[in-house]
Amino acid sequence: MTCCISRRPAYRINTWLISLVCLCSYGCGGGEDTGPPTLHLGSDVCDYCKMIISDQKFAAACIVRATDGRVRSAAFDDIGCLLEYQGSSVEGTIEYLYVTDYDSGVWMDATEAFYIQSPEIRSPMASGIIASQTQADAGRLADRFEGAVLRFNKLGGLADTSTPANLTKEISPTTDTQPTGGDEATLETPK
């Protein structure tokens, strides 16, 4: 009988400690999610133009820290919408930018991507901009769409002035220009 009495309080303490640890870990969370959002194609709405996001290969996103410190993601159906959103009066600070690779649909850092701009590209909001993970793939897509290969800081003029401070990278033009479907585009690479 003594054995059972002495075990009962220990059992209650252990149960209480386990419950406390679970509640604390749930309340603390795993930190802020600063990665690209999970899109629900056909139901998520573009944060700029309010159209339904229906094609992953044109999608873009950003992470915004509001003035009160909360973090939220904004998703876009077209890279052009992301650029317009950047140029608008965003309440807070844009901290991260993401675009999807046209061929694979995989998310990538928007400042590291290579972009192809052409009137032949039928993007959802007619920006004519797609992204690629590699310069070689971008060149292939530029030939296919008779477009120009650009880096993020050259897209539409908006990115020049509104790139988030922590994403600004030194980019200098190379001496090479490569023809892409009749047009010439100066390719730039990070230092």
User: H or E segment at 119?
Assistant: none
Specify burial of residue 183 (Cβ count, 10 A radius: 0-12, 13-18, 19+). middle
Asked if residue 140 has pLDDT above 80, the reply is: yes
Nearest of 92, 97, 98, 140 to residue 116 by alpha carbon: 140
Residues 39-72 have pLDDT tens digits of 999 999 999 999 999 999 999 999 999 989 899 9
Residues 70-114 have pLDDT tens digits of 999 999 999 999 999 988 877 889 999 999 999 999 999 999 999
Does the pTM surpass 0.85? The reply is: no
**DSSP result, 16-61:** HHHHHHHHHHHHHTT----SPPPP-TTT-B-TTT-PBP--GGG-EE
- Here the tokens at position 78 are 């077209």
What is the rounded (10 degree) CA torsion for 150, 104, 146, 172? Answer: 10
